[in-house]
A and B are shown apart, each in its own frame.
Chain A
Amino acid sequence: AQSVTQLDSHVSVSEGTPVLLRCNYSSSYSPSLFWYVQHPNKGLQLLLKYTSAATLVKGINGFEAEFKKSETSFHLTKPSAHMSDAAEYFCVVSLNRDDKIIFGKGTRLHILP
Chain B
Amino acid sequence: NAGVMQNPRHLVRRRGQEARLRCSPMKGHSHVYWYRQLPEEGLKFMVYLQKENIIDESGMPKERFSAEFPKEGPSILRIQQVVRGDSAAYFCASSATGIDGYGYTFGSGTRLTVV
Contacts and interface: CB of A to CB of B under 8 A. Distances in A.
A46 B56 CA distance: 23
B42 A94 contact: no
A36 to B, nearest CB: 8
Nearest to A49: B101
Contact of A32 (B42, B55, B100): B100
B108 interface: yes
Please indicate which of the listed interface residues B4, B42, B93, B107 has the most CB atoms of chain A within 10 Å of its own CB. B42
Interface in B72-115: 91, 93, 98-101, 104-109
B106 to A, nearest CB: 4
Interface residues of A, number: 24
Interface stretch (A11-19, A72-80, A102-110): A102-110
Contact of B56 (A36, A51, A99): A99
A100 B56 contact: yes
A32 B43 contact: no
Contact of B101 (A36, A51, A103, A106): A51
Contacts of A46: 104-105
Given A94-B100, A99-B100, 16 more contacts: A32-B99, A32-B100, A34-B104, A42-B108, A43-B108, A44-B43, A44-B91, A44-B93, A44-B106, A46-B105, A94-B99, A96-B100, A99-B31, A100-B99, A102-B45, A104-B42
Nearest 10 CB-CB pairs, A to B? A51-B101, A43-B108, A105-B42, A103-B43, A44-B106, A99-B98, A103-B42, A43-B106, A94-B99, A32-B101
Interface of A: 6, 32, 34, 36, 41-46, 49, 51, 90, 94, 96, 98-106
